[in-house]
Amino acid sequence: MAGSVQNTVDNQDRQFSLRQAYDQDQLIHNRFFITLIALSAGLMQLVFLVPDMIHLSQGRARLASLVLRLAVCCACLAFAWANHRGRVRTYRQYCLLATALEAAAVLLFLVVFLQYDPPHYIIQAMGMMIIIMLVMIIANRYRYKLVLSGLSLIAFLVLSAVRLGARLDLNEFLAGAFYLTVVLALCAIFSRRLDKHMYFEFQAKHQLIHLSSVDPLTGACNRTRLIEAWNHWSAWNRRYHQPLSLVLLDIDNFKQINDQLGHQEADAVLVALVRLIQGQLRDTDLLARWGGDEFVLLLPNTTPEQAVYAIKRMQRLLAFKPLIGSTTVRCSFGLAAMQAASSLDDLIRLADKRMYAAKKAGGNQIGTDSLPVTSSPV
| pLDDT score of 203 | 84
Which residue spans within 105-243 are E strands per DSSP?
A: none
In a domain, 216, yes or no: no
Q: Are 287 and 278 a contacting pair, CB within 8 Å?
A: yes
243 and 321 co-located in one domain: yes
In a domain, 218, yes or no: no
In a domain, 75, yes or no: yes
Distance CA(303)–CA(233), nearest Å, equals 14
Range of the domain at 280: 223-375
180 and 308 co-located in one domain: no
CATH code, domain with 328: 3.30.70.270
185 and 241 co-located in one domain: no
Statement: the pTM of the whole predicted model exceeds 0.85? no
227 and 205 co-located in one domain: no
**Final residue belonging to a domain, choices 176, 210, 244:** 210
User: By 3-state DSSP, what share of the chain in percent is helix, strand and coil, each rounded to 5?
Assistant: 70, 10, 20
In a domain, 217, yes or no: no
In a domain, 243, yes or no: yes
156 and 37 co-located in one domain: yes
| pLDDT score of 9 | 45
158 and 98 co-located in one domain: yes
**Final residue belonging to a domain, choices 168, 186, 210:** 210
233 and 199 co-located in one domain: no
In a domain, 201, yes or no: yes
171 and 292 co-located in one domain: no
**Final residue belonging to a domain, choices 210, 245, 260:** 210
> 286 pairs with which residues across the strands?
298
In a domain, 168, yes or no: yes
- DSSP of 50-108, one letter per residue? HHHHHH--SHHHHHHHHHHHHHHHHHHHHHHHHHHTT---SHHHHHHHHHHHHHHHHHH
| pLDDT score of 374 | 44
Q: How many domains does the chain have?
A: 2
Distance CA(180)–CA(254), nearest Å, equals 70
In a domain, 242, yes or no: yes
111 and 17 co-located in one domain: yes
Q: At a CB cut-off of 8 Å and minimum separation 6, what does 354 contact?
A: 248, 334, 335, 336, 367, 368, 369, 372
171 and 231 co-located in one domain: no
Look at strands 294-300 and 286-291 and give their pairing: antiparallel
**Each residue's pLDDT expressed in tens, for the chain with a length of 378 residues:** 444 444 454 555 566 677 888 888 888 888 888 899 899 988 988 998 888 888 877 788 888 888 988 999 999 999 999 988 888 888 889 999 999 999 999 999 999 888 888 888 999 999 999 999 999 988 889 999 999 999 999 999 999 999 888 888 999 999 999 999 999 999 999 999 998 998 888 888 877 777 778 888 888 898 888 999 999 999 988 888 899 999 999 988 888 888 888 888 888 889 989 999 998 888 889 999 988 889 999 999 999 999 999 999 999 988 888 777 777 788 999 999 998 888 999 999 999 999 998 888 888 888 987 544 444 444
234 and 199 co-located in one domain: no
Look at strands 294-300 and 374-375 and give their pairing: unpaired
206 and 233 co-located in one domain: no
pLDDT in tens, 158-215: 999 998 888 889 999 999 999 999 999 999 999 999 989 988 888 888 777 777 788 8
